[in-house]
Amino acid sequence: MPSLSNQTEDMMAAFSGTSRNTNGCESYFGSIKYYENLFHCSVANANGVVAAQVDQLFDVISPKYIGRTGRRVDDARASKSTRRKRRRQTARAGRCSAAALGADMESAVWEVARTTGGAEYAANAHADEHEADEASCAKSKAEEEKAIEDQIDKTAKAIEKINITPLVADADVMNPRKTLASLQKQLETAVAALPSTAAKTRALKGTLQRWVDDMGFAQLKPKEYASAKPENAQTIGKEGTDVNIAHLTSICIAAMKEIKEEKLELVNEPVVPELHRRALPQLGTATLTRVALESEQLRSLDEVRAAAEERRKRPRPRSSQRAARPCPERPPPPEINDQLLKRRVVVVYEMTHKKRDGSSLTRSYWCPGVIDKVSTATTTFAGKKLGLGNVHIKFDEGRPEWLLANRTSFWRATKPGGWCFEEDLQEVMGGDGDDDDESDVDEEELEDAESDSGGESGEDENNWGGI
């Protein structure tokens, strides 16, 4: 009988109703293929099973492998290991014996096991099997839905990438008269004409993604477009660097080489990834109905493209919108001018203490002081020009220091470098200026450590507010 692809309608009509068309496992080789695909066994083992079945040998050889519960020898003639095994079995069975439970209890236990107990056990087994089947169906359905969503995402990405203008036209890449050297020169000229490194990176990456995501040539996708790893600094490089531009250029040249050698056709419409049903083990030769069923996709081309267009219309969430908690709005710092002179302020400093046990403890403190100077455009300090936006603070302990005060993220902030007016400290601290995050630290041990350190990390504790 010829294969399914070679069968004509007259042949199928002539053999209609015969076992050859209704039973896919009637032939010898069909049975071998069935056992091989179903149990993933070798051809030799599958051949042995089919041969034994055809020769009707199972009735002859199967009694050798039937388990028997009767004892072959009694205890007197049994070996030492057999007697030891039987003693262990007897000890386990003795838990439900009359000596342990009593004759009446033993009879009741066995009666329940034979009647309601057995039925309940079987019902529980059926319920577990039904639950496992439902879980398997739900898992399969979830996997199918996920596959459909992935197909829609890839299609939406392909629709986006089709609008990218490639650095080298598709007609030039597919032109058999164009050599790879001329295409390379054309690519390098187009890249050099771009105004910035960011534009070069976008153009090179967009050209590659157009071939990979839009046209479906997954074999052209590089392992990484860019890399921030130190070991890849000289080969792949970070995005926007000269190393990364050279890396993307070499990948584009290699992709054009493969397109020309494999004679790949560059299409002008987005490619929709195929999504077929899982192929089941085949019993002999597949029927026409099965071939048609397995070749069908889960969704039609128009349905996938319509869903992809709908997906593209959705607003994309930004990273700031996905934050777990919104960042509270902080008012801008006051204008840095002479009106701040003689204003009392507090600044957050981070200090490290040594404890009695030899360990160290780092804490943040509010350090009070008075603004006595405001920088101008010509103000210098230690030979460097400070510029505008700095204030000179004389702290209560006597130590003066310049502070860059025009940074919005440090105004009324509780991190090191943050500052505010002294009268606003209670509000900045949340209504309690005596909060201490290091509540598990022994204050006596900390004070002793401060005094042992020779005043290195602070002066009077009353002049410092712990955060």
Percent of the chain with pLDDT over 70: 71
- For 86-96, how does the pLDDT look when each residue is reduced to its tens digit (9 = 90+)? 888 777 665 55
Counting residues of the chain whose pLDDT is more than 90, the rounded percentage is: 10
Residues 218, 250, single domain; the answer is yes
The answer as to whether 32 is a domain residue is: yes
Q: Is the pLDDT of residue 364 over 80?
A: yes
The band of 429, judged by pLDDT with boundaries at 50, 70 and 90, is confident
The residue from 220, 238, 262 where one domain ends is 262
Q: Which of 148-162, 198-212, 317-331 has the highest mean pLDDT?
A: 198-212
Who has greater pLDDT, 75 or 193? Answer: 193
The mean pLDDT value of the chain amounts to 76
Q: Does residue 362 share a domain with residue 437?
A: yes
pLDDT, one tens digit per residue, over 41-72 is 888 888 888 888 777 777 777 777 666 666 56
Whether residue 306 is contained in a domain is answered as no
Mean pLDDT calculated for residue range 303-311: 72
Same domain assignment for residues 417 and 387? yes
Domain match, 179 and 107 both = no
- Lowest mean per-residue pLDDT among 84-93, 191-200, 454-463: 454-463
Instruction: Tell me the mean pLDDT in the region 325-352.
Output: 82
Asked whether residue 27 falls in the same domain as residue 104, the answer is no
Q: Give me the number of domains the chain comprises.
A: 4
Asked whether residue 90 falls in the same domain as residue 61, the answer is: no
Examine residue 290 and state whether it is found in any structural domain, yes or no. Answer: no
Q: Quick one: tokens of 123?
A: 């019902």
Tell me, yes or no, whether 361 lies in a domain: yes
pLDDT(455) > 50: no
Exposure string over 338-355, b if 16+ CB within 10 A, otherwise e: eebeeeebbbbbebebbe
Of the ranges 133-137, 183-187, 297-301, which one carries the lowest mean pLDDT score? 297-301
Whether 267 has a pLDDT exceeding 60, the answer reads yes
Residues 177 and 206 in one domain: yes
Q: Which domain holds residue 421?
A: 338-466
Residues 405 and 443 in one domain: yes
Q: When comparing pLDDT for 113 and 206, which is higher?
A: 206
Same domain, 38 and 99: no
Confidence of residue 370 (pLDDT cuts 50, 70, 90): very high
Q: Are residues 61 and 84 in the same domain?
A: no
Does residue 344 carry a pLDDT above 60?
Answer: yes
Same domain assignment for residues 456 and 350: yes
More confident residue, 113 or 373: 373
SS3 for the chain is CCCHHHCCHHHHHHCCCCHHHHCCCCCHHHHHHHHHHHHCCCHHHHHHHHHHHHCCCHHHHHHHHCCCCCCCCCCCCCCHHHHHHHHHHHHHHHHHCHHHHCHHHHHHHHHHHHCHHHHHHHHHHHHHHHHHHHHHHHHHHHHHHHHHHHHHHHHHHHHHHCCCCCCCCHHHHHCCCCCHHHHHHHHHHHHHCCCCHHHHHHHHHHHHHHHHHHCCCHHHCCCCCCCCCHHHCCCCCCCCCHHHHHHHHHHHHHHHHHHHHHCCCCCCCCCCCCCECCCCCCCCCCCHHHHHHHHCECCCHHHHHHHHHHHHHCCCCCCCCCCCCCCCCCCCCCCCCHHHCCCEEEEEEEEEEECCCCCEEEEEEEEEEEEEEECCCCCEECCEECCCCEEEEEECCCCEEEEECCCHHHECCCCCCCEEEHHHHHHHCCCCCCCCCCCCCCHHHHHHHHHHCCCCCCCCHHHCEEC
**Confidence category of residue 185, pLDDT binned at 50, 70, 90:** very high
pLDDT greater than 80 at residue 294? no
Q: Is residue 221 domain-resident? A: yes
Q: Which residue has the higher pLDDT, 168 or 92?
A: 168
Does residue 413 belong to any structural domain of this protein? yes
Residues 88 and 182 in one domain: no
- Quote the pLDDT of residue 105: 78
Q: Considering the domain boundaries, does residue 192 fall inside one?
A: yes
On whether residue 61 sits in a domain, the answer given is yes
